Each structure stands twice: as C-alpha cells, then as structure tokens.
Structure 1
Amino acid sequence: MGFSVHLQGKIAHEALLSRQDAEIRLMDSMKRWIVNKVKCDRDYAISLSSTAAQGLKTTPGDDLAGSLVATSWRSIMEELDNTAKQIRQNADSIESKALDALNSLNVEKRKVRKLYQEEHTRILLQFTHVSNFIRAGIFSFG
C-alpha cells in the first residue's frame, strides 16, 4: 500500500489534520442546517395546522348539508391538518435520529483526531529521542 510511502513527513501530517478539521467543520455545518430545517418544518407544520383549523371553522352549516362542495372542502382541510401532523412527526424523527447520529459521529471524529494527534506526537518524540542518541554517537552500526 502507498499509505506509508506517500503520507510520511510533516506535510502529510498537516494534510491529514487539515482534512480531519474540514470534516469536523462540515459536520458542524450539517448540524446547524438540520437544526434550522427542523425549526422551519415545525413552523410550517404549525402554520399549516392553523390554516386547516381556520378552514374547518368556515365549514357551512345546515344550508349546505349533503353538498359535494362542502364535503370536499372539509376533506381538504382534514387532509391539510394530517399533512401538518406528518410534517411535524418527520421533523421530530429527523431531530431524534439524524441529529443524534450526527452528534455521535462528530464526537467520535473529534476523539479519533485527538488520538491521531497524540499518537503522532508520541512517535515524533520517540523518533527525535532515538535520533539524538544516534547523533551523539551512543549507538554505533559497525
């Protein structure tokens, strides 16, 4: 594999950190977008439900009993209210499932980045320590 050959050195390390940081920023942006979408969906559902309730109040009385127009109007308003309820349920589902999954992924990504950084620092210190011994002539190869 080319990983060990092509991703050696400071430039590669900085590129990996930069990529991890960019992915974390993207997930933060995704979270803000999802929160905003859920808020918009809930507001829309409230408005839609309010409109349906207002439309149901205007349902004609006895003078249009049996009217197909009145029956159709009532059906439309009831379906509008059902649609509002479904939009609200979908917003709740997005918030509880997608947002929770994204938050978990974001936490995991941050932990992995920290672990990578710590491991890189540990290896770099160990390499520096061994290099100093070699330069000091403590180790000889022959």
Structure 2
Amino acid sequence: MGCPMELACPEGHSALLRLQDSELRLLELMKKWMVQRSRSDREYGSLLHQMYCLAEKQEGAGGQARNDDSGSQISQCWWLLASQTETLSRILRRHADDLVAGPLHKLGLLIRNKQQLRRSYSEQWERLSQDFTRVPALSPTRGHQP
C-alpha cells in the first residue's frame, strides 16, 4: 500500500507523527483507566467479602442458624442478601483478574507495537530523506553531457 503524495512531504510526515502520537496518548490513557478500573473492582470485591465475613462472624456469635427452616423471614432475607453479596464479591474479583489477563494485556502489546511502528516509520523517513538529499549531489549535471 502506497503513501498518498500529500503525505510524502515534510508537512505530511509531521502530520502522521502527530496522529501516531495522539493515538499512543489515547491508548496510554485507556490503559491507565483500565488499570484503575481493575484495581477499583478488586478493592470493592474485597470490601464486599469483608462485609460477608463480618456477617458470618456476627451469625456465629449470635448462635442463629442461617439455613434453619424455623428461622424468621427476616433472617432468611438477611442471609440471602449476605450470600448474594459474597457472590458479587467473587464475580468482581474474577472480572478484575480477567480484565488484567485479557484486554489490558492485549492493550499493552498494542501500545508496544504502535511504538515500534512509529520508531520504524521515523527511521525510514529519515533514511529516505538523507538518500533524497544525497542523490542530487551524486547525479551528473545536465549541462555537461558528452
């Protein structure tokens, strides 16, 4: 795939570099946001788990059986809420781990790839620019042909 003539000039090169830089900044921002999201979800999941453990501890001290059919509806509702809170804490922690292992890891690879491509593009542009300035110096002058 060729490069349009509008981008073959120094201004086009600068525009492409600015575009690549802005894409890299956006990807870095996305990565930072995803890391924070993962941390927040993991922390929230841990806090929910602590709440569940506290409820279990309270239950043990009170001596009430949570699965007892003779328990009141309020007690049954309470333990349903507590168990759903524990389930939610597990889901949040698992999703936080999945985010780090999946999309966040792939985003890191994409950022590294984009950085390498930007470096490669800049090096090739520099090499072509040097070759272009060297060619007129090496070619014979037009007025002195035999």
TM-score normalized by the length of structure 1: 0.86
State which of 110, 120, 126 in structure 1 corresponds to 2:131: 126
Q: Matched residues in 1 for 2:38 and 2:30: separation?
A: 12
State the match for 1:140 in structure 2.
Answer: 142
The Cα offsets for residues 91-138 of structure 1, whole Å up to 9 and x where unpaired, read as 00001111110010011101111111111111111111112234xxx1
State the match for 1:96 in structure 2.
Answer: 101
Count residues with an aligned counterpart: 138
Structure 1: tracts of 5 or more residues without a match: none
CA contact 1:27–1:102 (8 Å) conserved in 2? yes
State the match for 1:36 in structure 2.
Answer: 36
Q: Matched residues in 1 for 2:141 and 2:107: separation?
A: 50
Cα distance, 1:8 vs structure 2: 2.3
76-85 or 64-73, larger mean C-alpha shift: 64-73
The Cα offsets for residues 18-42 of structure 1, whole Å up to 9 and x where unpaired, read as 1111111211111111111111111
State the match for 1:55 in structure 2.
Answer: 55
SS of structure 1 residue aligned to 2:4: helix
CA contact 1:133–1:139 (8 Å) conserved in 2? no
Q: Matched residues in 2 for 1:67 and 1:27: separation?
A: 53
State which of 73, 77, 93 in structure 2 corresponds to 1:72: 77
Structure 2: tracts of 5 or more residues without a match: none
CA contact 1:24–1:106 (8 Å) conserved in 2? yes
AA matched with 2:80: S
AA matched with 2:113: E
State the match for 2:20 in structure 1.
Answer: 20
CA contact 1:49–1:84 (8 Å) conserved in 2? yes
Q: Matched residues in 2 for 1:111 and 1:140: separation?
A: 42
Cα distance, 1:79 vs structure 2: 0.7
SS of structure 1 residue aligned to 2:142: coil
Cα distance, 1:77 vs structure 2: 0.3
TM-score normalized by the length of structure 2: 0.84
Q: Matched residues in 2 for 1:121 and 1:8: separation?
A: 12
- Percent identical among aligned pairs is 28
125-134 or 115-124, larger mean C-alpha shift: 125-134
SS of structure 2 residue aligned to 1:58: helix
